[in-house]
Amino acid sequence: MEPEQNRRSQIPRAMLYALVFALPLFMISGCGDKKEPATEQNAQGSSESFTFFELGKNSRFTDSVRKDLNRQLGNDAIAKRSLLDLEINYYGFLQDYFPALQALNTQLNPPTRARVDHNILKLMYRYARKKNLPFDYVELIFSNYTQLPLLFKINFKEDETNVVQTLKTKYGEPRLIDWKNKNGQSMYWQKNNDVLVVSLVPDQFGNPEYQIRIFFVNNIQALLEKEKTEKEKQELRREKSVKRAF
């Protein structure tokens, strides 16, 4: 048990993380050992989706947003046009438990094609602990077409500030997944087509790491539809060019 002084010193930090994860999923049916929550009466608020630092499904990325994130999470690394892989925990997890998400992932990363880079913006943060936050790694991915979020990733080693309890207080008891053939567990919430998954993932030495994933499903679908339209336009332009050539 921690000394009384240490417990008192952590109270302001716990309040801060409660604000960070005022986090608001598409009823994804899947197979596996999913357990229904006992109750959701403790869920608070009726926000449209999940949020992280007040960024949710309808938040658009701007220079001002980037400055705010740098102030709160530290300096970022940025990547444009890159892979967008939705898989989590281990290869086949989405197929086992979230087949609808796996269907989206297959569209994003067709198995018979070479690498597919998408028109996205990826922000990566590795120094959040220097800002007195418990996160070891944060990755925020936005569509370059709409500037809307697609996928948020948050990793941390220990739940020293009760992040999971904060989520339960906000959204109620989650559904549970005991992994097949793996020593791990996940919990998830669903709200308005978006999915929030918290997993306790063993590393190569068997030490667990918390991994949070927020899937903004409608925004991912919109990205795929836009890319399909752009591809069709490009193919039409090529056909016209060939006709002009001959």
- Are the C-beta atoms of residues 76 and 61 closer than 8 Å to each other? no
- Dist CA 34 CA 51 (whole Å): 24
- Domain coordinates of the chain in residue numbers? 16-245
* 159 pLDDT higher than 80: yes
Higher pLDDT, 15 or 241: 241
Higher pLDDT, 225 or 20: 225
* 65 pLDDT higher than 90: yes
The mean pLDDT of 44-70, rounded to a whole number, is 86
List strand residue ranges (DSSP E) for the chain, in order: 33-35, 76-82, 118-125, 137-143, 149-156, 175-178, 185-191, 194-202, 208-216
Please give the mean pLDDT across all residues of the chain.
82
* 202 pLDDT higher than 50: yes
> pTM for this one?
0.79
pLDDT digits over 26-38, tens only? 333 333 455 544 3
- Are the C-beta atoms of residues 91 and 102 closer than 8 Å to each other? no
- Dist CA 102 CA 100 (whole Å): 5
Higher pLDDT, 127 or 18: 127
Tell me the C-alpha to C-alpha distance, in Å, between residue 129 and each of 64, 74, 133, 161, 241: 22, 9, 5, 12, 54
- In the prediction, which pLDDT does 134 show? 93
- In the prediction, which pLDDT does 20 show? 55
- Dist CA 71 CA 131 (whole Å): 8
Burial degree of 4 (CB within 10 A; 0-12, 13-18, 19+): exposed
**Percent of the chain residues topping a pLDDT of 70:** 77
- In the prediction, which pLDDT does 232 show? 80
Tell me which residue of 135, 116, 117 sits closest to 125, measured CA to CA: 135
The mean pLDDT of 5-26, rounded to a whole number, is 46
Out of 104-113, 144-153, 180-189, 233-242, give the one with best mean pLDDT. 144-153
What are the DSSP calls for 207-237, one per residue? -EEEEEEEEEHHHHHHHHHHHHHHHHHHHHH
Q: Please list the residues that pair with 228 across neighbouring strands.
A: none
Task: Give the pairing type, strands 194-202 and 118-125.
Answer: unpaired
**Percent of the chain residues topping a pLDDT of 90:** 62
* 156 pLDDT higher than 50: yes
- In the prediction, which pLDDT does 243 show? 66
Element (H, E) at 246: none
Q: Which amino acid is at 82?
A: S
